[in-house]
Amino acid sequence: MKTKRQFLKTAITAAAAAGLLLTTNAVAGNYKIDVSLETGPNHIRNISIKKWADTLNAESGGQLKINVFEGASKFKGSSVPTALAQGTLDMGVPGTWHLTKFIPDFGIIFLPMFFGHDRHVSYKVMDGAIGNELVRQTEEKLNVKILGRFIDIGSAITFMKTAPITGPSDYKNKRIRIAGSAAHARRYEALGANAVKVSWPDVPQALQTGMVDGVMTAFESVRSAKLWDSGLKFAYVDQHAFHQYVPMINKDLWNSLPKNLQSLMETTWEKTVDPQREFTAQRDRDARAEAIKNGIAVTDASPADIKKLRGNLMPIQTSVIKELRINPAFADRVQEAISRASM
């Protein structure tokens, strides 16, 4: 029978061996992070995340392996925040619209005050104190770590299958697919349309069956899913909202990583953001050209149209803020930030 001293010696030896094993495994590349994306391989988000993952995997010297799962093979975008909070997913890059039901203040991005503004206005607002406040709220509420600044998908505009929209009065009675935030629904309703919430993987069927007449999305998304094959024929470039993606990692997993890997993930991410945004802008131009080539007729909303549309929407802003439970004082700060950014 072993003495207490022998038991203690055995325990110390086992603990030391385990510590050595953990260190060896970490150096050998035992840190694995699975990323879930609902979009397909040709989508700008997938291209951007896989490029970042390749860079990170290489620069980690074998310590880290990022695995990207595409086409909602793990989770739909709407399920990603919950999966991250529960620890059933390592990392996701959900759209900002998927965060509004968890972080009400995220709804400010989709309020009428943002309607029709250039992407650089969004950058000035979201890369500053406003964005930092949303990051803080998200990290606390969902038990996640946000790697850094958001990346782009671009401006969401209105695409139609049958009757086109070419001006502010043409939205009436149209059934438009939206995603996420109820603010999208309220905007379209204020313009006379009916908003229908449909998950991205289900959009082609919704178009083909006549469930919706049109879709609020970006040129890039239309191209990646070849939605002209599902019947889309018209586009009205009304800049309904500027959509971005938020890089989020489960906080417990993040805390388990060595400091050097945490730093490497943050620095490699930061280096990708500005090039990704410009790449996305170019992809949007290319996707627009390809949409036209595939038979989609494009109408650009004139500055006068944008001004009129925003004017039609602004009267609902106070009620939408209340409905979405957005902090009114925070909304006021955002309005001031937009005013400064658009000067």
**Which residue's structure tokens are 């000035």?**
124
Q: Kindly list the structural domains of the chain, giving each domain's residue range(s) and its CATH number in brackets, ordered by start.
A: 4-341 (3.40.190.170)
Mean pLDDT (whole number) for 285-306: 96
Does the pLDDT at position 209 exceed 70? yes
276, pLDDT greater than 80: yes
- Cα 152 to its chain centre, rounded Å, is 8
Euclidean distance between CA atoms 205 and 86, whole angstroms: 31
Mean pLDDT of the chain: 89
**Strand extents, DSSP E, the chain:** 31-36, 64-69, 91-92, 144-146, 151-160, 175-178, 194-197, 214-217, 234-245, 248-250, 297-300
Answer for the pair 222, 177: CB distance below 8 angstroms, yes or no. no
Q: Give the integer Cα–Cα distance in Å for 309 and 311.
A: 5
Q: Is the pLDDT of residue 18 over 60?
A: no
- What SS3 state is found at 64? strand
One-letter amino acid at 235 equals A
pLDDT of 313 > 90? The answer is: yes
Length of the chain: 343
Q: Which residue has the tokens 């038979």?
A: 295
The residue assigned the tokens 């082609």 is 204
Residue 181: its pLDDT value, please?
75
Distance CA 44, CA 151 (A): 10
pLDDT at position 19 is 36
Q: 143: closest CA among 76, 82, 79, 69? A: 82
Instruction: Give residue 235's pLDDT.
Output: 98
The residue-averaged pLDDT of 177-195 equals 90
Q: Strand, helix or coil at 226? A: coil
Is 297's pLDDT higher than 50? yes
The pLDDT value given to residue 119:
92
Q: Span 119-136, mean pLDDT?
A: 96
Q: In which residue are the tokens 């990646």 written?
A: 224
Residue listed under structure tokens 């001031």: 336
Give yes or no for residue 8 having a pLDDT over 80. Answer: no
pLDDT at 42 over 80: yes
Is the pTM higher than 0.85?
no
Quote the tokens at residue 90: 């390592």
pLDDT digit string, tens, across residues 45-103: 999 999 999 999 999 998 999 999 999 899 988 899 999 999 999 999 999 989 998 99
